[in-house]
Chain A
Amino acid sequence: GAGVSQTPSNKVTEKGKYVELRCDPISGHTALYWYRQSLGQGPEFLIYFQGTGAADDSGLPNDRFFAVRPEGSVSTLKIQRTERGDSAVYLCASSPQGQSTQYFGPGTRLTVL
């Protein structure tokens, strides 16, 4: 079946601009996660959704970052007033209800010039 998909695969933007990154989880998966992976580092947790609600947003670095999942499926990560330090690969993962395994998408590489 189809895995987790993320669009776009690459995004180049200018400092100060607004960007949206999209994640389509595996159909039927109730949990959805966003991570950020900087060069040479492991992924860092940003936010976790259980259904439509954010169960844990403690990883969001500041109020420029926001994520939604209005219908409990697709999620959008929104970054306002982008900074060069936001450049990274943004990963999305999903998992079925009650299971610990997270299935990752290929990521969106964000470059802020």
Chain B
Amino acid sequence: AQSVTQLGSHVSVSEGALVLLRCNYSSSVPPYLFWYVQYPNQGLQLLLKYTSAATLVKGINGFEAEFKKSETSFHLTKPSAHMSDAAEYFCAVSVPPMNYGGSQGNLIFGKGTKLSVKP
């Protein structure tokens, strides 16, 4: 079975500081990994995804994540936080269903990390 653990339900950084949101996964097969962001009263928006190509993945809004198989991690980083980055961030893993093929398995999410950015 697959699972995701996000360390830290709340992370607070100062504007301009490094953002590091941690995600560890468990999967019996090579996973696909995702980071989604959820702004208040809005739907989930994809930040970036790893699908077995380059291990360093760049996403929108200056975020990036590195897939480390040996550590079963997919931590999200941004060099310099902006006030507009304040939101909740979810890491997710998927494994494609065998019977339909393709890359369309359901997502298994972590509990989320709420990022606060102080001026």
Chain A contact residues, CB within 8 Å of chain B: 4, 31, 33, 35, 40-45, 48, 50, 55-56, 59, 91, 93, 95, 97-107
> B43 contacts which of A42, A97, A107 (Cβ < 8 Å)?
A107
Bound-complex Cα distance A79 to B8 (A): 34
A98 touches B109 (CB 8 A): no
Check B99 for interface membership: any CB of A closer than 8 A.
Answer: yes
Chain B contact residues, CB within 8 Å of chain A: 4, 9, 32, 34, 36, 41-46, 49, 51, 90, 92, 94, 96-97, 99-100, 102-112
Bound-complex Cα distance A91 to B46 (A): 14
A43: chain B residues within 8 A (beta carbon): 44, 90, 107, 109
Bound-complex Cα distance A56 to B36 (A): 22
The 7 tightest CB contacts between A and B, nearest first, are A42-B109, A100-B103, A104-B44, A98-B102, A45-B106, A104-B43, A106-B43
Q: How far is the CB of A53 from chain B (nearest CB, A)?
A: 10
| B114 (CB) vs chain A CBs: closest residue | A40
B44 touches A41 (CB 8 A): no
B104 touches A98 (CB 8 A): yes
Q: A43-B90, A107-B43 are in contact. Are A59 and B106 (CB under 8 A)?
A: yes
* B contact patch SS: loop
A45 touches B108 (CB 8 A): yes
A100 touches B32 (CB 8 A): yes
B107 touches A91 (CB 8 A): no
Q: How far is the CB of B114 from chain A (nearest CB, A)?
A: 9
| B36 (CB) vs chain A CBs: closest residue | A104
A104: chain B residues within 8 A (beta carbon): 36, 43-45
Q: How far is the CB of A11 from chain B (nearest CB, A)?
A: 16
Q: How far is the CB of B58 from chain A (nearest CB, A)?
A: 15
A100: chain B residues within 8 A (beta carbon): 32, 34, 49, 51, 94, 96, 103-105
Q: A56-B97, A91-B43, A100-B94 are in contact. Are A45 and B107 (CB under 8 A)?
A: yes
> A48 contacts which of B41, B46, B106 (Cβ < 8 Å)?
B106
| B112 (CB) vs chain A CBs: closest residue | A42
B100 touches A55 (CB 8 A): yes
A105 touches B109 (CB 8 A): no
